[in-house]
Structure 1
Amino acid sequence: MTAYLYAFWKVGTSFPILSGKHGIVFLEQCIGRIGVVGVTIMAFLSGFGAVNYPYSCMTYFALSVSNSEIRTAERRLLQTVDMILVKRRRLAQFQFEARMKRTTNEKSNTFWNMLRTVGMSISSPRIDEKLLKHERTTNEKSNTFWNMLRTVGMSISSPRIDEKLLKHEISVLEDLSRQLFLELHYLRTAQERIEFSKTWKGKYFNCLGYFFCGYCCWKIFISIVNILLNRFGGQDPITRFMGITIHYLGFQIDVKFWSQQISFWLVGIIVVTSIRGLLITLTKFFHAIASTKSSNIIVLIIAQIMGTYFVSSVLLLRMNMTAEYRNMLNQVLGDLQFHFYHRWFDVIFLISAMCSIAFLYLAHKRVAEIKDDYIS
């Protein structure tokens, strides 16, 4: 706990979260540090989502997979599984035979030793100790000799089955089966994606994919411009859009009043829907790892994540509000460097988007190579 609080407090020394006129106010200090962590997480997730959603929804990136390729992949997987079963059966049979032979040898040695001991006790009740040691040494040598002969006979009469070699072959085949299963899963997923894109719902998501693809390109371009030119947003998008629309269409509308109302409701909807989506995702994740002992810890983690997410959302959505609401928000949050958070969001968003593009490109290339392998 002490290490966590120390690391949390050190965040403020590495980032310009407060202006130079601030005092030693505990609330502003905490909000600034929470904002850095939350904005970093939000920017990373936003960058990945802005790239992954168009890729997963647009039919342009989907690969066409035929039923013959699926059947070929299934046949390879079944053949590999059959080979694993055969080798496992041979290994089990070999281990069983070796265990039975060891048991038989132990019983035969015990029986002959008992007979030898009884015969010696009947013929000579009193035997000198040196003679006993000599006979015991002779018996051990003879047993060793007969055991060597028995081992040679077993190796000649039965086929040589190396247990280590069998285990190695089984391990290699199991790795191959896992790889073939993943390849089959990739092909089936691609086929299901093509079939889903032919439905009305798939066409709707395809249109959304094109829209978000354009948004992703625009957001990446704007982030690069903001970083290079050290630019920050001024007028909120609602007021800008309404001003352009009224200018070209000639409507007589109170832009200031309606832009304030629409911005307020739009920001509220964005906050509610984003928090709802985050809650659903966290619920699914923690449901998979939850137990009776970790329930209290999970509740605390969810509460901390939700608080961080909410504060970060308010810091970022401030730019989408009008000047009146921005001033109100400034009075509540304190003297924070809001421009830093927007610039930091652009930097992390750009890094996350570029890494996501590279990752999805490699994954798409891998699936295409698997498909070409089954075609050839």
Structure 2
Amino acid sequence: MSVWDALIGQDHVVAELTDALATKGALTHAWLITGPPGSGRSVAATAFAAALQCRETPAGCGRCENCRQVLAGTHPDVTRVTTEKVVIAMEEVRGLIQVAQRAPSGGRWRIIIVEDADRMLERTSNVLLKSIEEPPERTIWLLCAPSTEDVIMTIRSRCRHIGLRIPPVDAIAELLASRDGIDPEIARAAARAAQSHVGMARRLATDDAARSRRLAILRLPLEIRSVSDAVLAATTLVDLAKDDAAAATEERDRKEKEKLLRDLGVEDGTTRLPPAVRARVKQLEEDHKRRATRFQRDVLDRIMVDLLSLYRDVVVRQLGSDIDLVNADLASDIERLAAAGSLERSVATMAAVETARRRLAANVAPLLAVEAMLIAIRPQA
């Protein structure tokens, strides 16, 4: 057993990190870990943090108390920050900077993992910059982002970069089969459809409803024939994302509000709240709205990634390639699209989907971004 076992298909990353641990003077105080969704950025950061705290040789045994605490998220000298909102607030970063100044209480290092470094606005990143430039001697920052371009240049220039790749489909399928007992054929189909995103692959492999809904979503653009069809389909997709966000957050929001009221000494059924309590409740409700907004945008982005996989398959067929299709269960639809359109049109369609993703990331209203995308990819007269 090793802390690196959960990092699937990233042997080059494991080699680079273990070499840094073993080579005197190779450790830097700021690291930027990048990779596409599902590649294991947070897994790599956690494994590296555990190996940094491990006192065994080689580091990262996975069995000692330090390793177990880091992997469980309970190590007192490892702080992890992730956000369920659209952006990481400046107040959160200022709090991290204060934590970074403290000496480790028992571990070898004070380690701060920022899972969503790409969700810091530029002014927030600038607040973090000085702490990364001149960190305390025993503090290490581990920043995670999809790519180096997702963090400001002054931050990335001061970090050592570790780039993760998309794991091979076979590696994900083997993991699902061995760890979760999933039939190898189902595991491979799910891994391919999820484009090697481990969490999504597991969901598709174990949830029939998730597989059916994904197919329905991919078929939706195939039914668009006019602008009005595109507008209706956009409304359907955005409503679906809203429903997903509500289902994922409503119960959690309710429990968090109940806990806050209990902590503030408010009895059940109280309708008139003191001003100070009202302010705390309002702040919590605003946080809930931001969390729901992020979840909705994440669902829509995943839908767009799936659409890109569909048109990628169309391009594969138009080029006459024998590469495996991502969406083999839609082979007949893919053949029809490939025959009906041109390669140039398919590439333009993929560009329209990428444009919608950028607009969504830039905080454009989801309905407007999705409408524009579907209007652009409808069949041309």
Higher relative contact order (CA 8 A, sep 6+): 1
Q: Which has the higher strand share?
A: 2
The structure with more radius of gyration: 1
Q: Which has the higher helix share?
A: 1
Q: TM-score range by the shorter chain?
A: under 0.3
TM-score (structure 1 length as normaliser): 0.22
TM-score (structure 2 length as normaliser): 0.22
